[in-house]
Chains A and B, each alone.
Chain A
Amino acid sequence: MTYIEFLQAYSSRIIDGSLITLVQFLFATAVAVTTALALGLMRLSNNPAVKGSATIYIEIFRGTSLVVQLFWVFFVLPLFGITLDKFIAGFLTVGLNMGAYGAELVRGAIMAVPKGQWEAAKAINMTPLQRMRRIILPQAFVIMLPPWGNLVIEILKGTALVSLIAVTDLMFQARQINISTFMSVQTFGTAIIIYYVFARFMVTPFMRYFERLMARKIGRA
């Protein structure tokens, strides 16, 4: 079987898998951004209970392996009465895990906003909420976007692990095709190229564009 024949026979499954990977990636990113923002702000709280619970969450999710977390959510949570569909369990776990990494980026970016900005906002009598929303967060956003570009690639790579709980993503389809054809170089090679094109020529350029756009919005282009 030549590579052309291989593509003719299996391209529909590869495309199906790629679309599932894409959807998993988008949902996982949404979950990660939400988690990261909430936890990053909690980490900066003065309330020790709020700050402590965020720290515990971050340490647990960063300190254990993503595969183990996936298996916990999919196989162990049902024993406690929480049964999630494998598709939801997949992007939710990847998102919650990557959100823990993102929380540190959010915290770092907020702390990197110059002291003068905080003081000026206070001097014109803004409430802490107004100051955070209108002065600090927009600037922190611009600061944190470049490291987020890295994390978003990590999220894309993380979604390959959802194949282990039988979500039919690109990784899963590649393994299935390999089992029936034994053409491992072609199957896994094609999958690697798809992930690479996706990360390098779609996700990264988008993030770069987004960085420039946001920098321009606060007048730093």
Chain B
Amino acid sequence: MEWRWDWTWELVPRFIDATGKTLVAAGGGYAIAIVLGLVFVLAQRTPSRILAFVAREFVELIRSTPLLLQVFFVFM
């Protein structure tokens, strides 16, 4: 296969578009992560043993399974 510059230039707008979406997804991800991170930490530090245990185990479950699988589980 040869490198074709005309085709490359045709693709550039789509890449710019997609980069925008990546940035939005990353920004949204950060925002949600900060809020949920605080929620889970607070849940683990409450006097309620049960709530702390559930929060801890949930965090462990999320941390030790692949993100790709979680995405499929939630959205399929």
Interface of A toward B, CB cutoff 8 Å = 79, 153, 156-158, 160-161, 163-164, 171, 174-175, 178, 184-185, 188-189, 191-192, 195-196, 199-200, 204
Residues of B within 8 A of A195 (CB): 64-66, 69
Task: Tell me if B76 and A188 are in contact (CB < 8 A).
Answer: yes
A205 to B61, CA, bound (A): 15
Chain B min CB distance to A204 (Å): 8
Cross-chain pair count, CB within 8 angstroms: 53
Instruction: Say yes or no for B35: interface residue by CB 8 A criterion.
Output: no
Q: List 7 A-B contacts (CB under 8 A).
A: A174-B72, A184-B73, A185-B73, A188-B69, A191-B69, A192-B61, A200-B64
Size of B's binding interface in residues, CB under 8 A: 14
Partner of A157, one of B61, B64, B76: B64
The answer, among A158, A188, A204, for a CB contact under 8 Å with B73, is A188
* Contact A157 B73, beta carbon cutoff 8 Å: no
Question: In the docked arrangement, what's the CA distance between A156 and B1, Å?
Answer: 35
Q: Do A178 and B76 form a contact, CB below 8 Å, given A196-B61, A200-B60?
A: yes
B-side interface residues toward A, CB under 8 Å?
A: 1, 60-61, 63-70, 72-73, 76
- Residues in A neighbouring B69, C-beta threshold 8 A: 160, 171, 174, 188, 191-192, 195
User: A199–B65 contact, CB under 8 A?
Assistant: yes
Q: Are B72 and A157 interface neighbours, CB within 8 A?
A: no
> Cβ of B1: which chain A residues have Cβ within 8 Å of it?
79
A-B pairs, top 3 by smallest CB distance, nearest first, are A160-B66, A199-B64, A188-B73
Nearest A residue to B71 via CB reads A188
Bound-state CA distance A184–B75 (Å) is: 9
